[in-house]
Amino acid sequence: MTITHHPTETTLASFATGTLDEARALAVATHLSLCPQCRTMQHKFEHVGGALLDRVTPDAMAPDALQHALARIGTPEPARPVRAPRADGLPEPLSAYELGPWRWIGRGVQWRSVGVPIENHLRVFMLKAAPGIHLPRHRHVGSEWTCVFEGAFTHEGGRFGHGDFDEADENIEHDPRVEEGATCICLVALQGNIVLQGFFGKLLQSFIRI
């Protein structure tokens, strides 16, 4: 399967330099785990970042910096909890996070939380939508980054299948439809709330809190 939608170069550069918040970094890391093309691009950005750092004139060191550094070398690293690899076939970057149970939020649509601390009004969750489901037309008050693991959906921006990355901002309004034939499962990093359009959308909004 060919991945046709990738994060923008700006997003990949932000990821490589560690300037993305954890929620959006997880969405990008999930895509990278599925996309060799973007992994290559990310490594290039890291090399560029490293080369730029090499050119930076270092600050003068504190007189006791060497002592501090030597003392830290002798200090063992705190033990980190070892997590067993996921047996559920989910992309590897999700293995570091607690996942909540699947909950129904509408006809044919389930939601589960991903344990990323909320920062900048960004929340991370997974969505599972049945084949043929048409999600209500909606727009965003912030960004909505989505990485698809299984199945596919389409909207005005094209078809989004396994590994595809959809980088929507607050200017985009769309009504995704899940393709027939397979359940669609994706990871979403959402800033703020989505704003559903139309009568049924407004009705649904009172039931779902996404």
Interacting residues with Zn ion (CB under 5 A):
6, 35, 38
Q: Residue 36 or 198: which CB sits closer to Zn ion? A: 36
CB of residue 7 to Zn ion, shortest distance in Å: 7
CB of residue 179 to Zn ion, shortest distance in Å: 20
Which of 100, 107, 163 lies closest to 126, judged by CA? 100
Integer-rounded Cα Rg, in Å, for the chain is 20
Question: CA 110 → CA 20, 100, 128, 151, 210, distances in Å?
Answer: 27, 12, 5, 14, 11
d(CA 135, CA 29): 26
Q: Edge to edge, what strands does the sheet with 158-160 contain?
A: 158-160, 153-155, 177-178
CB of residue 34 to Zn ion, shortest distance in Å: 8
Q: Residue 147 or 194: which CB sits closer to Zn ion? A: 147
Strand-pairing partners, residue 155, are 158
CB of residue 41 to Zn ion, shortest distance in Å: 8
CB of residue 91 to Zn ion, shortest distance in Å: 13
Residue with tokens 């703020």: 192
Q: Residue 188 or 196: which CB sits closer to Zn ion? A: 188
CB of residue 20 to Zn ion, shortest distance in Å: 15
- Phi and psi torsions of 107, nearest 5°: -65, 115
Q: Residue 27 or 122: which CB sits closer to Zn ion? A: 27
Q: Residue 26 or 196: which CB sits closer to Zn ion? A: 26
Q: Residue 38 or 148: which CB sits closer to Zn ion? A: 38
